[in-house]
Structure 1
Amino acid sequence: MASVDFPLRPGDPAGSAAAPRLSYVHEWLTDWGGSEDVVAHMHQARPAQALHATIDFLSDTDRDKLPGLPIRTTFLQRAPFVRSRFWHYLPLTPLAVETHDLRDADLIVSSSHAFAKGVLTTAQQLHVSYVHSPMRYAWDLHHEYLADYGLGRGAKGLLARHIFHRLRQWDRQTANNVDLFLANSEHVARRIWRTYRRRALVLHPPVATGRFALEDHKGDHYVTVSRLVSYKRIELLLQAFREMPQRKLVVIGDGPEMGHLRAMCPPNVTLMGWQPHEVVQQQVGSARAFLFAAQEDFGISPVEAQACGTPVIAYGIGGSAETVRDVRSAEQPTGLLFFEQSAAALRAAVEDFDRAHIDPHACRQWAERFSAERFRDGYLDILDRAWQAWQGGLQVEDRLIGELR
C-alpha cells in the first residue's frame, strides 16, 4: 500500500484539524497474546490518548509494552472474582462495553474478537474496527464450546443457548456502529461478510520475524508450539506420531490439556511445557518441519517457524491457507497443507513432506511479508485514507475497499 500525504502524525496538538483525537478499544487486558500485540503495534505507529478495556489486570512487564497509554476500564473491574471467573460475567459484557465513554475521541479504533466493536459512537466519530475474529463461541464454534463446557443439554444448556442467542443479536446489530472493518486474514474477512454482511480490508497482524533467526541446518525432529487447549488439536498430533514411531515430535507449550496429553503421550513425543524464547528458537529453527493442526483465523506461530527457515505442515482451512505456500502448487513453497483434521491425514502429509524439498531461504523470504514493519505501513496508510475520506464526507468503506482491494 502506498502512503498518502495526510498530516495525521504523532505530536500534533490534540484536537487540531491535522490530528484527530484517537482512542483505542480492546476487549480485556489479562494475559498478553496476539491481539494485545496488535494494539501495542497500533499504539507505536499512531499513539492514542487512551485505551479502553472492560478489565485490566496486566502485569507490570506487559504494561510496559503500552508506554504512555492511559487505560480506562468499566464497572466489571470491581466485580467479585472477575479476574479468575471473567466468563461468568459474559452476559454483562455487552453492557460494560457500552459504558465506555468515548465522547472525547474523533477517531476510534477497536481491536475486537468479541465485544469491543460494540462501543457506542456518534455521527461525528469515525469508527474503524480491526477484527481478529467474529465472536467464535457465538457463531462458528458455538456447538463445540457448548460441548467442551458440558452445556449441550439440560437447564444450564438451555440457559447458555438463550444467552448466546441474545449475544448474536447484539453482535450483528452493533456491526452498524462500525464505519470500516479490517480483518486479520481473508478467512476472517469471509466470516465478517457471513456474520455481518459487511466487506472488510485485510491487514495481516504483525509478526516479530526479527526475533527469529534463519537456520539452514535442520535436525530430524518435528515441532509444534501452542497453548494446550482442545481446539489446537495437539491430541491429533500425538495420535499421528504414535503410528509413526520412527519419527520424533517436540511439543512446546502449556495449558489445561497438559494432564490429558501426558497420559496419552507416546515414547517418541516430548512434551516440554512452557519454554523461554531461546529454547523455542533453537527447537523450531532446527526442526525438520513445524506442525499445525488447528483451524485458526490467522496463526502467528507458523509464520514464526517460516522466519526460522522451517517449513510448515498445516491444516489447510483458515489462516494457514494464506500463510503457508503449498509444495504441490507454489513455485517457492514453504510447506504442505492437509485438509482433514484426522491422524491419518496428518500422517499422510508428513510422509508426503518427507519426499519434498523446501528451501529454508524461501520460507524466510515469505515470512517477511507478515512483518511488523509491513503491518505498520499498512495500518498508517489505511488510517490516513479513512480519515481523509471521512473528512471529505465520503462513504469510508466503499471508498477504501475500492482503492485498496
Structure 2
Amino acid sequence: MRIAIVHDWLVTYAGAERVLEQMLHCYPEADLFSLVDFLPDQGRGFILDKPVTTSFVQRLPFARKKYRTYLPFMLLAVEQLNLSSYDLVISSSHAVAKGVLTGPEQLHLSYVHSPIRYAWDLQHQYLRESGLDRGLKGWAAKAILHYIRLWDTRTANGVDGFLSNSRFIARRIHKTYRRDSTVVYPPVDVSDFPLCLEKEDFYVTASRLVPYKKVDLIVEAFSSMPDKRLVVIGDGPDFAKVQAKAGPNVELLGFASSDVLRDHLQRARAFVFAAEEDFGIAPLEAQACGTPVIAYGRGGALETVRGLGVVPDGPTGVFFAEQSVAAVVEAVQRFEREGGAAIAPEACRDNALRFAPERFREEFMAFVEREWMAFGKGR
C-alpha cells in the first residue's frame, strides 16, 4: 500500500505539526506533500528529515515570508499535486490540504484541525481585525472568501472519512460540510512537562500575541488587581497593545525558550487562558505540570479542562463565561476562594495524561485501519 500525507504548509513547529509528526511515526514509509516547505535544516527532525514535494506557491515571489497572502492561489495549487499513484491519501488540513484530488480507487482520509476559520464563522472578526471590513479592499476580500467557501464545500465531497481534533471542531465540520467525523484529540507531549507540586504566588499565560488570543484582556484584568502578579510569555503583532495595558504587576517576557516556558508553567499558581480555541495545547501542558487552568468556557477548553463545579470530582480548573475583564477577575477570585482546596496538582497531571502521543497513535491508526478495511470491502 502506497501512502501519501499532505500538510498545508511547513514553516514552523506548532500544533498542527505535532499531529503531522505523530502521523509520520504511524506511517514512516509515507511520502510527504505540502504547498510550501520553508523549514530550516535544523528543524526537520519532526518530519523524519523526509523530502517534501511542494507546489508552485513555493516558487512565487516573497513566498517565504508572504505565503499566507497567496491563499487564493493555494486552492489551485493543492489540486495540482499529483497523488494518482497512491492507494491511501491522508490530509492534515486547517486550510486547503483536504482539497487534493483523488480517484475512486484511492481512499482519502482527512484530519481537519478546523474548516478555514476566516472564511466561515470567523469571517467578520477576521475582516474587522485586518481592517478589511469596508472599502474597495474589503469588498475584494469578501468576494475571495465567498469563492473559498464554495471551493471548501465542494472539496469536502472528495474526502472519504473525516477526523476532527475535538468535539467542538466536529460540530463545526458538520455545520460546514454536513459530514460526521471521528474525534481523535491531538497529541500533547506530557513527558516534556513534569509534575511540580510546589507552586509560587504568580499566574502565567503563554501564547502568540494575536487578537483572538485575548491576551490583552487577561493583562487588563490583572492590571486591575495590583496585588496579583502575572507573567506573559509570547510575542506577536499585538505586543505593543498588550504592553500598553500592563500595570507594574504584569511582566512581559516576550518570546521565551521551551525551558523558560516549562519552568513558569511548573511554578505558576494557575495558567490563564482567554481564547476560544479549537483544541488548545497550552492548557494541557500546564495541567501536565500540575498547574490548574483558568479558562474561557468555550471551544476546546471544555474538553481539556475539568471545570470546578462542572465535574463531580477531580476538577482541574475554573471557567469564566464571557471574554471580559470583569469575568476574568471574577474567575481568578473564585479560583483563590475555592480552587486551592478543590484542585489537586495530581488531578491536573492525570487529566493531561489522557492526551499523550501514544493514545493519539493508537486511535489514529485504528481509525485508518477500519476505514481501509471498509473501503476494500466496498470495492
Q: Do the structures match in fold with TM over 0.5? A: yes
User: In the superposition, relative to structure 1, how do residues 68 and 83 fare at CA in structure 2: closer, same or farther (>3 Å)?
Assistant: closer
What is the distance in 1 between the residues matched to 2:263 and 2:332? 21
Unaligned runs of 5+ in 2: none
1:164 to 132, 139, 145: 145
The equivalent of 1:392 in structure 2 is 377
Alignment check: 8 A CA contact 2:223 2:245 kept? no
Counterpart check, 1:381 vs 2:366: yes
Correspondence for 1:194 among 158, 175, 178: 175
Equivalent-residue separation in structure 2 for 1:55 and 1:279 (angstroms): 30
2:123 pairs with 1:142: yes
Give how far 1:61 is off. Answer: 2.1
Cα contact 2:218–2:325 (8 A) shared by 1? yes
2:42 maps to 1:61: yes
Query: 2:219 and 2:49 mapped to 1: Cα distance?
Result: 45
How far residue 329 of structure 1 moved from its aligned partner, in angstroms, is: 2.2
Please say which of residues 146-155 and 182-191 is displaced more in the overlay. Answer: 146-155
Amino acid at match of 1:364: R
CA distance in 2, matches of 1:382, 1:107: 13
Q: 1:368 aligns with which of 341, 349, 353?
A: 353
Q: Secondary structure at the match of 1:101?
A: coil
* Shift >3 Å, 4+ stretches: none
Measure the CA separation in 1 of the matches of 2:10 and 2:100.
17
Residue 339 of structure 1 corresponds to which residue in structure 2? Answer: 321
Partner of residue 234, structure 1: 215
Larger mean CA deviation between 164-173 and 85-94 belongs to 85-94
Distance in 2 between residues matched to 1:168 and 1:83, nearest whole Å: 26
Asked if 2 retains the 8 angstrom alpha-carbon contact of 1:133 and 1:297, the reply is yes
Equivalent position of 1:107 in the other structure: 88
Alpha-carbon distance between aligned partners in 1 of 2:242 and 2:30, rounded to the nearest angstrom: 45
Equivalent-residue separation in structure 1 for 2:100 and 2:152 (angstroms):
11
Q: Which moved more, 1:165-174 or 1:38-47?
A: 38-47
Hey, what does 2:162 align to over in structure 1? 181
User: Deviation string for 1:173-218 (max 9, x for gaps)?
Assistant: 1000101100000000000000000000000000000000100011
Q: Does 1:206 align with 2:200?
A: no
Task: Name 2:330's counterpart in structure 1.
Answer: 348
1:91 Cα deviation from its structure 2 partner = 1.2
Shift in Å, 1:68: 4.9
Structure 2 residue matching 1:370: 3-state secondary structure: coil
SS at match of 2:64: coil
Alignment of 1:320-331 (within 5 A): 320-330=301-311, 331=313
TM-score by length of 2: 0.97
**Aligned partner of 1:348: which letter?**
E
Instruction: Kindly indicate whether residue 279 of structure 2 is the aligned counterpart of residue 294 of structure 1.
Output: no
Cα offset, 1:65, TM superposition: 1.7
Helix, strand or coil: the match of 2:327? helix
Cα drift, residue 366 of structure 1? 0.6
Aligned partner of 1:91 in structure 2 is 72
Aligned mates of 1:282, 1:117 — CA distance in 2: 38
Distance in 1 (alpha carbons) for counterparts of 2:49 and 2:291: 37
1: distance between equivalents of 2:40 and 2:186?
23
SS of the equivalent of 1:109 reads strand
Deviation at 1:88, TM superposition (A): 2.4
Q: Quick one: structure 1 residues 223 and 68, their matched pair in 2 at CA, closer, same or farther if it must change by over 3 Å? A: closer
C-alpha contact 1:49 1:70 (8 A) present in aligned 2 = no
> Which residue does the alignment assign to 1:11?
none
Normalised TM-score (structure 1): 0.91
Residue among 33, 51, 55 paired with 2:14:
33
CA–CA distance in structure 1, aligned partners of residues 324 and 95 of structure 2: 29
Residue 103 of structure 2 aligns to a residue in which SS? coil
Corresponding letter in the other structure for 1:336 = V
2:265 pairs with 1:265? no
Letter in 1 for 2:255: W
Rounded Cα–Cα distance in structure 2 between residues aligned with 1:67 and 1:30: 15
> Structure 1, unaligned stretches of length 5 or more?
1-19, 395-405
Quote how far apart the aligned CAs of 1:241 are. Answer: 0.7
Counterparts of 2:144 and 2:47 in 1: how far apart (Å)? 34
Say whether the 8 Å CA contact 2:293–2:305 is kept in structure 1: yes
Give SS of 2:132's match: coil
Q: Please name the residue that 1:116 is paired with.
A: 97
Contact 1:49 1:69 in 2 (8 A): no
Give 3-state SS (helix, strand or coil) of 2:74's partner.
helix
Partner of 1:284: 265
RMSD over aligned CA atoms reads 1.0
How many residue pairs were aligned? 375
* Cα distance in 1, alignment partners of residues 245 and 308 from structure 2: 32
